[in-house]
Amino acid sequence: MADLSSASIPPVGPDDHVRGMGEEGLIVYADLGCPRCAGAWQRLNERPGRLVFRHFPVKSKHPRSPALHAAAEAAGLQGRFFEMADSLYADRGRTDDPHLWERAERFGLDLDRFQADRRAERTEARIRRDFQSGIRAGVAGTPAVFDACTLVAVREREF
Protein backbone atom coordinates (compact mmCIF):
# COMPACT_ATOMS: atom_id res chain seq x y z
CA MET A 1 0.00 0.00 0.00
CA ALA A 2 1.42 3.38 -1.00
CA ASP A 3 2.34 5.76 1.79
CA LEU A 4 0.63 9.05 0.98
CA SER A 5 1.31 10.82 4.25
CA SER A 6 3.06 14.20 4.24
CA ALA A 7 6.58 14.40 2.87
CA SER A 8 8.69 16.93 1.03
CA ILE A 9 8.97 16.53 -2.69
CA PRO A 10 11.81 14.21 -3.72
CA PRO A 11 15.05 15.80 -4.89
CA VAL A 12 15.65 15.93 -8.61
CA GLY A 13 16.77 12.49 -9.75
CA PRO A 14 18.30 10.96 -12.86
CA ASP A 15 14.97 9.97 -14.39
CA ASP A 16 13.25 13.31 -13.82
CA HIS A 17 12.28 15.28 -16.90
CA VAL A 18 14.62 18.26 -16.83
CA ARG A 19 14.82 21.17 -19.26
CA GLY A 20 17.62 23.71 -19.01
CA MET A 21 20.88 23.72 -17.18
CA GLY A 22 22.10 24.43 -13.68
CA GLU A 23 21.18 23.47 -10.17
CA GLU A 24 18.69 26.29 -9.62
CA GLY A 25 15.19 26.33 -10.99
CA LEU A 26 11.61 25.26 -10.57
CA ILE A 27 9.85 21.94 -10.18
CA VAL A 28 6.31 21.91 -11.55
CA TYR A 29 3.62 19.32 -10.90
CA ALA A 30 1.40 19.65 -13.93
CA ASP A 31 -1.48 17.95 -15.73
CA LEU A 32 -1.10 17.69 -19.51
CA GLY A 33 -4.87 17.88 -19.88
CA CYS A 34 -5.23 21.00 -17.72
CA PRO A 35 -5.93 24.31 -19.46
CA ARG A 36 -4.46 26.30 -16.58
CA CYS A 37 -1.22 24.35 -16.94
CA ALA A 38 -1.22 25.05 -20.66
CA GLY A 39 -1.59 28.74 -19.91
CA ALA A 40 1.30 28.70 -17.47
CA TRP A 41 3.57 26.46 -19.53
CA GLN A 42 5.03 29.14 -21.80
CA ARG A 43 5.73 31.50 -18.90
CA LEU A 44 7.42 28.73 -16.94
CA ASN A 45 9.63 27.93 -19.91
CA GLU A 46 10.62 31.56 -20.41
CA ARG A 47 12.23 31.69 -16.98
CA PRO A 48 15.98 31.27 -16.75
CA GLY A 49 17.33 28.17 -15.09
CA ARG A 50 16.23 24.59 -14.83
CA LEU A 51 12.63 23.41 -15.14
CA VAL A 52 11.64 19.98 -13.85
CA PHE A 53 8.32 18.49 -14.97
CA ARG A 54 6.49 16.03 -12.74
CA HIS A 55 3.34 14.21 -13.72
CA PHE A 56 0.12 15.11 -11.90
CA PRO A 57 -2.76 13.82 -14.05
CA VAL A 58 -6.19 14.30 -12.51
CA LYS A 59 -8.22 11.81 -14.50
CA SER A 60 -11.59 12.62 -12.97
CA LYS A 61 -11.25 16.22 -14.10
CA HIS A 62 -9.45 15.63 -17.40
CA PRO A 63 -10.29 12.15 -18.70
CA ARG A 64 -7.64 12.22 -21.43
CA SER A 65 -4.85 13.13 -19.01
CA PRO A 66 -3.59 9.59 -18.32
CA ALA A 67 -3.21 8.96 -22.06
CA LEU A 68 -1.42 12.26 -22.57
CA HIS A 69 1.00 11.65 -19.72
CA ALA A 70 1.68 8.14 -20.97
CA ALA A 71 2.38 9.53 -24.45
CA ALA A 72 4.80 12.10 -23.05
CA GLU A 73 6.52 9.48 -20.94
CA ALA A 74 6.81 7.15 -23.93
CA ALA A 75 8.21 9.98 -26.04
CA GLY A 76 10.66 10.66 -23.22
CA LEU A 77 11.98 7.12 -23.48
CA GLN A 78 13.07 8.10 -27.00
CA GLY A 79 14.43 11.47 -25.90
CA ARG A 80 11.45 13.61 -26.91
CA PHE A 81 9.58 14.24 -23.65
CA PHE A 82 9.49 18.02 -23.83
CA GLU A 83 8.68 18.10 -27.53
CA MET A 84 5.59 16.02 -26.75
CA ALA A 85 4.65 18.10 -23.70
CA ASP A 86 5.09 21.37 -25.61
CA SER A 87 2.98 20.09 -28.46
CA LEU A 88 0.18 18.81 -26.21
CA TYR A 89 -0.06 22.14 -24.41
CA ALA A 90 0.16 24.14 -27.65
CA ASP A 91 -2.61 22.22 -29.43
CA ARG A 92 -5.12 21.10 -26.83
CA GLY A 93 -7.82 20.35 -29.38
CA ARG A 94 -5.93 17.43 -30.91
CA THR A 95 -5.32 14.84 -28.26
CA ASP A 96 -6.96 11.67 -29.59
CA ASP A 97 -4.80 8.65 -30.36
CA PRO A 98 -4.33 9.46 -34.08
CA HIS A 99 -3.09 12.90 -33.05
CA LEU A 100 -0.58 11.28 -30.69
CA TRP A 101 0.62 8.97 -33.46
CA GLU A 102 1.00 11.94 -35.79
CA ARG A 103 3.12 13.71 -33.20
CA ALA A 104 5.24 10.61 -32.63
CA GLU A 105 5.97 10.40 -36.35
CA ARG A 106 6.71 14.11 -36.55
CA PHE A 107 9.24 13.80 -33.73
CA GLY A 108 10.91 10.87 -35.48
CA LEU A 109 9.93 8.30 -32.88
CA ASP A 110 9.82 4.56 -33.46
CA LEU A 111 6.05 4.25 -33.56
CA ASP A 112 5.85 0.61 -32.51
CA ARG A 113 8.05 1.28 -29.53
CA PHE A 114 6.06 4.42 -28.70
CA GLN A 115 2.84 2.41 -28.75
CA ALA A 116 4.26 -0.31 -26.55
CA ASP A 117 5.86 2.09 -24.10
CA ARG A 118 2.82 4.25 -23.57
CA ARG A 119 0.76 1.23 -22.61
CA ALA A 120 3.43 -0.39 -20.47
CA GLU A 121 2.84 -0.94 -16.76
CA ARG A 122 6.21 0.61 -15.97
CA THR A 123 5.07 3.82 -17.68
CA GLU A 124 1.93 3.95 -15.59
CA ALA A 125 4.00 3.25 -12.47
CA ARG A 126 6.46 6.03 -13.34
CA ILE A 127 3.60 8.53 -13.74
CA ARG A 128 1.94 7.33 -10.54
CA ARG A 129 5.20 7.77 -8.65
CA ASP A 130 5.30 11.47 -9.56
CA PHE A 131 1.61 11.87 -8.76
CA GLN A 132 2.00 10.29 -5.35
CA SER A 133 5.00 12.46 -4.50
CA GLY A 134 2.85 15.48 -5.33
CA ILE A 135 0.04 14.22 -3.12
CA ARG A 136 2.50 13.72 -0.26
CA ALA A 137 3.74 17.30 -0.71
CA GLY A 138 0.19 18.65 -0.52
CA VAL A 139 -0.39 19.43 -4.18
CA ALA A 140 -4.03 20.43 -4.34
CA GLY A 141 -4.36 21.72 -7.88
CA THR A 142 -2.31 22.24 -10.99
CA PRO A 143 0.02 23.70 -11.86
CA ALA A 144 1.84 23.51 -8.51
CA VAL A 145 5.25 25.12 -8.70
CA PHE A 146 8.04 24.46 -6.23
CA ASP A 147 11.27 26.37 -5.80
CA ALA A 148 13.60 23.79 -4.24
CA CYS A 149 11.14 22.05 -1.89
CA THR A 150 8.91 25.04 -1.19
CA LEU A 151 5.56 25.53 -2.88
CA VAL A 152 5.77 29.00 -4.39
CA ALA A 153 2.78 29.35 -6.67
CA VAL A 154 -0.84 28.47 -6.15
CA ARG A 155 -3.96 29.95 -7.58
CA GLU A 156 -5.98 32.23 -5.34
CA ARG A 157 -9.73 31.73 -5.49
CA GLU A 158 -12.62 32.61 -3.25
CA PHE A 159 -14.06 29.11 -3.09
Partner 1 sequence: MIAVGEPAPDFTLRNQDGEEVSLADFKGRKVLLVFYPLDFSPVCSDQLSIYQEVKPEISEKGVELIGISIDSAYAHKAFQEKLGIDTTLLSDFEPKGEVARAYGSYIDGAGIANRTLVLVDEEGKVAWTHESPNPGEFPGANVIFDALS
Residues of the shown chain interacting with partner 1 in the complex, contacts defined by CB under 8 A: 1-7, 58-61, 63, 131, 135-141, 156-159
Nearest distance, CB of residue 139 and partner 1, angstroms: 6
DSSP 25-81: EEEEEE-TT-HHHHHHHHHHHHSSSEEEEEE---TTT-TTHHHHHHHHHHHHTTT-H
Residue among 2 and 116 whose Cβ is closer to partner 1? 2
Residue among 18 and 58 whose Cβ is closer to partner 1? 58
Helix (H, G, I), strand (E, B) or coil at 24: coil
Residue among 19 and 128 whose Cβ is closer to partner 1? 128
Residue among 5 and 98 whose Cβ is closer to partner 1? 5
Residue among 36 and 47 whose Cβ is closer to partner 1? 36
Question: What is the maximal distance between C-alpha atoms in the chain?
Answer: 47
Going from the C-alpha of 51 to that of each of 39, 41, 44, 54, 118, the distances in angstroms are 16, 11, 8, 10, 23
Q: How far apart are CA 58 and CA 99, in angstroms?
A: 21
Nearest distance, CB of residue 112 and partner 1, angstroms: 31
Nearest distance, CB of residue 54 and partner 1, angstroms: 15
Nearest distance, CB of residue 156 and partner 1, angstroms: 7
Nearest distance, CB of residue 5 and partner 1, angstroms: 4
CB 58 within 8 A of CB 31: yes
Q: How far apart are CA 20 and CA 34, in angstroms?
A: 23
